[in-house]
Every structure is written in C-alpha cells, then in structure tokens.
C-alpha cells in the first residue's frame, strides 16, 4: 500500500521522548535507541520452555507453541541451531512471489507479518503463503503506529487484520507483530484477548532503508546467533535488495548449520 512506512526509527528526539514516556509493560524496562523504535528487555528463559520446530517439519496447520504473552518474543528458545525468518509488510504482488520462490528453493519455512489492507487487496497471495506451509502473523490493518492510540483503535487495527487473514486463509493468526516494535500495555492486553503471541525480532538488517545488498547480507551474517529472529520485508516499497540479499544469506546460513523454525 502506498505510503506504508516500514518498521524503522525516525531518529527524532520527540520520537525517543515519546517512547520513553510509555509505561513499562508488565514490569519490563522500555528503552529507546536508534536501532529500535522500542526495545523490551526480556530475561532469558531455559531452552526447555520451547523446542523450535525444524523447517522441514513445520506446516501452517501446526499450532504455535505457547509462550508467556506478557512480553514480546525476541528469540526462539532452543539449544540447537534454530533461527527464525520473518517477512513483514506484505503481501505484495511483486516481491512476495519472489520470496516464496526462494524459500521453496531452500526448503525454508518463514513467518509473514501481513498488513490487513494488503491481505484484503491480495487474498490469493495470503493463501499462497499459507498453502506453502508458512505462518502468517497479524501486522495491524493499516501498519499504524499503535503507541499512544486509544484502546478502541488498537482493538480495531488488530481485529480487522485478523479477520482479513482468516477470510483469506481459513486460519486466524496466532502471532502479532507491532509495527515499528511499538509495544504498549494496550497492545499486549489486546493480544491476550485475541490469544495471539506478541512477536518481536532480534536481528534487524534495516533492509527497509535499502542500504545495499552487501550491507544487508553482512548485518544478517554478523548478528545472527542460535535463536535469532531475523526481520526482513516483502512490502512497503522496492524490496529488490531484500530478495537479492535473501538469495545470498539463505544458503550461507544453512551451510553454517542453522535450520529455520517458526516461533
């Protein structure tokens, strides 16, 4: 959708101050920084809390395992070489099919965080993602910055997106990703009401800024660790650099012994 701003920090002082003014969610510390619009500190949990599912066993029909919903999930908790790939802001008629083709080529299962208005416009693409065995997460109806919005608007953004995803795929989303990482108490409460797990990320190569394929690749390869959740985009603008970078990093990550899981 034209005008949709990707998950990024505008770097302004007013933005940072506004984030710092947010109340802590469930006792979590909120900090603002140039690389993240909102970072919620999350203590490590034992690996036994969850075993990530290897990509070749993951299917869209498989239930998402339970996590505490009081804080967003930034890592998948596993002692193996599992990592997760998440693709945001689609579906897009140009780039979503290209990403799907790459994922199929390398037998990688990913999570697509979809914007409701895009799902409504391209329901066949949402169905294609679902039928290929990938998960679909709710990414709001309009990619709204939920920080500071009244609870009624937050509810509308989440419910309308879930309804669109359900209508297109037959499955309601069990994951929610807040645009810009803007987590608030109202957003967490709405996730709890809708039985959705809040999904964040731990590796942001800033592909939305189109910094060049080499830089995207370098950031992913240097920042990824076991349990990392990688953020990429198939919507919100020209994503040719993202597609080119994925063509490089997917085989490299597999060669390094990582295997892809769904959160």
- Residues 216-246 have pLDDT tens digits of 999 999 999 999 999 999 999 999 999 999 9
Round to whole Å and give the CA distance between 172 and 169: 8
- Structural domain of residue 171, as residue ranges? 69-262
Average pLDDT, the chain: 81
**What's the confidence (pLDDT) of residue 87?**
98
What are the phi and psi torsion angles at 48 (to 5°)?
-65, -15
13 occurs within a structural domain: no
213 occurs within a structural domain: yes
8 occurs within a structural domain: no
Residue 81 C-beta-side C-alpha neighbours within 13 Å: 7
249 occurs within a structural domain: yes
DSSP 39-51: EE------GGG--
Give the active site residue among 118, 134, 143, 233: 233
Peptide bond before residue 91 is cis, with ω within 30 degrees of 0: yes
DSSP 193-227: HTT-EEB--SB---GGG---HHHHHHHHHHH--TT
CATH number (domain holding residue 153) = 3.20.20.370
Cα Dmax for the chain: 47
253 occurs within a structural domain: yes
Average pLDDT over every residue of 237-261:
97
Residue 58 pLDDT > 90: no
168 occurs within a structural domain: yes
**What's the confidence (pLDDT) of residue 250?**
98
197 occurs within a structural domain: yes
**What's the confidence (pLDDT) of residue 79?**
64
Residue 127 pLDDT > 60: yes
Of the candidate ranges 7-11, 119-123, 190-194, the one whose mean pLDDT is the lowest:
7-11
Per the structure, how many domains does the chain have? 1
- Residues 4-53 have pLDDT tens digits of 545 544 433 333 333 333 333 333 333 233 333 333 333 333 332 333 33
Name the nearest CA neighbour of 113 among 98, 129, 93: 129
**What's the confidence (pLDDT) of residue 80?**
87
Annotated catalytic residue 233: yes
Annotated catalytic residue 10: no
Give the active site residue among 88, 89, 92, 207: 88
**What's the confidence (pLDDT) of residue 15?**
33
- Residues 85-110 have pLDDT tens digits of 999 999 999 999 999 999 999 999 99
6 occurs within a structural domain: no
- Residues 130-161 have pLDDT tens digits of 999 999 999 999 999 999 899 999 999 999 99
- Residues 159-191 have pLDDT tens digits of 999 999 999 999 999 999 999 999 999 999 999
């Amino acid at each position: 959708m034209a005008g949709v701003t990707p998950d990024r920090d505008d770097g302004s002082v007013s933005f940072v101050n506004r984030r710092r003014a947010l109340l802590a969610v469930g006792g979590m510390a909120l900090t603002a920084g140039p690389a993240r619009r909102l970072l919620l500190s999350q203590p490590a949990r034992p690996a036994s809390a969850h075993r990530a599912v290897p990509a070749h066993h993951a299917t869209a029909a498989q239930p998402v395992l339970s996590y505490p919903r009081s804080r967003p999930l930034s890592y998948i908790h596993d002692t193996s070489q599992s990592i997760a790939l998440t693709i945001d802001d689609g579906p897009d008629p140009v780039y979503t099919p290209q990403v799907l083709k790459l994922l199929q080529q390398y037998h990688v299962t990913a999570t697509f965080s979809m914007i409701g208005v895009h799902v409504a416009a391209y329901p066949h693409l949402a169905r294609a993602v679902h039928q290929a065995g990938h998960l679909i997460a709710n990414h709001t109806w309009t990619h709204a910055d939920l920080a500071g919005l009244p609870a009624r608007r937050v509810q509308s953004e989440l419910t309308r997106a879930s309804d669109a995803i359900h209508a297109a795929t037959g499955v309601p989303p069990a994951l929610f990703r807040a645009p810009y990482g803007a987590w608030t108490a109202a957003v967490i409460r709405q996730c709890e009401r809708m039985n959705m797990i809040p999904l964040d990320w731990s590796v942001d190569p800033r592909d939305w800024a189109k910094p060049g394929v080499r830089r995207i690749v370098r950031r992913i390869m240097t920042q990824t660790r076991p349990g990392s959740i990688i953020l990429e985009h198939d919507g919100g603008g020209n994503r040719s650099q993202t597609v080119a970078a994925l063509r490089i990093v997917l085989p490299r990550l597999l060669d390094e012994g990582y295997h892809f899981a769904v959160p």
